[in-house]
């Protein structure tokens, strides 16, 4: 039985269901907590504290509809945005924030690539510095080429982690891209294992943007992913990343059953 902790994506309103389904943690969205006014945030904070499981991972520290390399991107404004986001995440118990934001960091095809990469790196560096003050690790996520052209493989993520030299900058992996992206390989995963601090999984053949829970009956063989995680002695959180739920409570229990099948236990509830 693998020493992996489980997580599931969700909203504040779904925390109790995630806990009841036997997950070790819930993974939340920065956009949601940043959309709360102070009174709403106070209510959400109490729900996090009452749900019985930690919310130690948050996703996408910038709004999804902005672009770092657009002229409209104002560094001082978004530095303050990220500072406020870090403060809110930290109060909710965050230990990791995933810098996904694939389209946000995309490099314009008709621009100066070096300048565009520099702008991305400046933002990631700012986030690392802000997060370090709250003891939060930033994860630079390799994302498929259908979404971004900046950091699409584990080795590329490692290169930028080394280039920035921030002690709280690591990387993470998403099962979907092992199936759908050339160059995203299990050999890389094991080579850079010590820099991988988080992992995602969903049913990889769903058509984006729809992401659904993996299930025992979906006909897909997930064994290579779990075998690789076991070989690298991965002991972090494996979160199910989904955004489409005909029946949330039933779906997340089906996801848990899939994890159980591959030797990842649910917590007893």
Determine the Cα–Cα distance for residues 144 and 177; give it in Å rounded to an integer.
6
Q: Which residues pair with 137 in a beta bridge?
A: 96
Burial of 38 (0-12, 13-18, 19+ CB in 10 A): exposed
The mean pLDDT of the chain is: 96
Q: Give yes or no for residue 1 having a pLDDT over 70.
A: no
Residue 103 CB contacts under 8 Å (≥ 6 apart), including other chains: 64, 67, 147, 148
Provide the CA 169 distance to its chain's centre, in angstroms.
Answer: 13
pLDDT in tens, 102-151: 999 999 988 789 999 999 999 999 999 999 999 999 999 999 999 999 99
Q: Which residues pair with 238 in a beta bridge?
A: 6, 199
pLDDT in tens, 34-89: 999 999 999 999 999 999 999 999 999 999 999 999 999 999 999 999 999 999 99
Q: Which of 32, 28, 41 is nearest to 94 (CA)?
A: 28
Q: What number is the average pLDDT over the span 221-227?
A: 97
Q: How many CB atoms lie within 10 A of CB 229?
A: 27
pLDDT in tens, 241-259: 999 999 999 999 999 999 9
Provide the pLDDT confidence category of residue 269 given band limits of 50, 70 and 90: very low
Rg (alpha carbons) of the chain, rounded to whole number: 18
Which structural domains are found in the chain, ordered by start? 5-61+86-102+131-261 (3.20.20.150)
pLDDT in tens, 89-107: 999 999 999 999 999 999 9
Residue 216 CB contacts under 8 Å (≥ 6 apart), including other chains: 254, 257, 258, 261
């Amino acid at each position: 039985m693998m020493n992996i902790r489980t997580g599931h994506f969700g909203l504040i309103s779904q925390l109790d269901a995630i806990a009841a389904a036997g997950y070790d943690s819930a993974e939340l969205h920065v956009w949601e907590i940043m959309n709360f006014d102070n009174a709403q945030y106070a209510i959400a904070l109490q729900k996090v504290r009452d749900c019985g499981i930690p919310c130690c991972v948050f996703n996408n520290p910038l709004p999804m509809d902005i672009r770092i390399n657009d002229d409209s991107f104002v560094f001082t404004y978004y530095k303050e945005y990220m500072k406020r986001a870090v403060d809110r995440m930290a109060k909710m118990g965050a230990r990791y924030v995933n810098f996904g934001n694939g389209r946000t960091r995309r490099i314009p095809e008709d621009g100066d690539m070096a300048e565009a990469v520099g702008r991305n790196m400046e933002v990631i560096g700012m986030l690392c510095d802000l997060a370090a003050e709250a003891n939060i690790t930033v994860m630079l996520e390799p994302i498929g080429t259908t979404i971004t052209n900046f950091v699409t493989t584990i080795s590329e993520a490692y290169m930028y982690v080394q280039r920035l030299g921030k002690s709280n900058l690591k990387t993470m992996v998403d099962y979907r891209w092992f199936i759908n992206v050339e160059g995203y390989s299990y050999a890389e995963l094991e080579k850079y294992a010590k820099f991988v601090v988080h992992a995602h999984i969903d049913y990889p053949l769903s058509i984006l943007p729809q992401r659904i829970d993996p299930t025992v009956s979906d006909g897909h063989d997930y064994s290579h992913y779990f075998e690789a995680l076991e070989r690298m002695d991965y002991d972090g959180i494996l979160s199910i990343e989904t955004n489409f739920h005909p029946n949330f409570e039933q779906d997340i229990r089906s996801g848990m059953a899939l994890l159980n099948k591959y030797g990842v236990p649910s917590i007893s509830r």
